[in-house]
Structure 1
Amino acid sequence: MSEINFTIRPYLDMVIEQDKIFLQRLGKRISELRLRYKLTKVQLAFEINTSESNIRRIEKGQINVGIITLNKIAEVFNISLSELVRFD
């Protein structure tokens, strides 16, 4: 069993690293949109019915955001969900 874990570990590390990068890019995108719309973290949190600390963690890429929350964020910025996760 330990051989299997040893052989797939580099792959899992790579996947986890890709997830971290995605969450960081998503957080940066949300932060940029929030600033563009001149919203504070507290205001955005109020709009999507969450806490300011959750917004802070989202913007830092520290949590995996659910699809419902992402959709609410997109609605606040009047953009589609696909536009929210587009990192051009």
Structure 2
Amino acid sequence: MSKRKQKKEIPLFCIEFGKHIRALRKEKGLSIERIAFKADIDAQNLRKYELGKQEMKISMMKRIADAFEISTSELLSFDK
């Protein structure tokens, strides 16, 4: 009997938050690579966050907010 690793369902908030990050990045004319570099994260992970395919820890939200040069509360201010 094989055990398959079940995919964890991503909460709707994470999906919407990812869309918000992408919209903010495009609005500022920044590439995924640029924000990833500034946040000191892998661009592939940032892409997963933007696409809502991976949950994000609060510490990562802080790093992304810093990369955008805004506060975490500003980053979290979006229509959910």
Pairwise TM-score range, normalised by the shorter structure? 0.7 to 0.9
CA distance in 1, matches of 2:43, 2:21: 14
Could you tell me how far apart the structure 1 residues matched to 2:41 and 2:69 are?
18
The total of aligned residue pairs comes to: 72
The equivalent residue for 1:33 is: 24
Q: Distance in 1 between matches of 2:38 and 2:69?
A: 12
Question: Following TM superposition, by how much is the alpha carbon of 1:82 offset from its aligned partner in structure 2, in angstroms?
Answer: 1.6
Distance (Å, rounded) in 1 between the aligned partners of 2:40 and 2:56: 14
Unpaired segments ≥5 residues, structure 2 = 1-7
Counterparts of 1:6-85 in structure 2 under 5 Å?
20-85=11-76
Question: How far apart, CA to CA, are the structure 1 residues paired with 2:69 and 2:35?
Answer: 13
From the two aligned structures, give the one with the greater helix fraction: 1
Identity %: 35
Could you tell me how far 1:75 is from its partner in structure 2? 1.5
Paired position in structure 2 for 1:4: none
Which structure 1 segments of 5+ residues have no match? 1-15
How far apart in 2 are the matches of 1:79 and 1:31?
15
Could you say which structure has the larger radius of gyration?
1
Give the aligned CA root-mean-square deviation in angstroms: 1.7
What is the TM-score normalised by the length of structure 1?
0.72
Which stretches of structure 1, 4 residues or longer, exceed 2 Å deviation after superposition? none
Q: Given the alignment of the two structures, is residue 86 of structure 1 paired with residue 74 of structure 2, yes or no?
A: no
3-state SS of 2:17 partner = helix
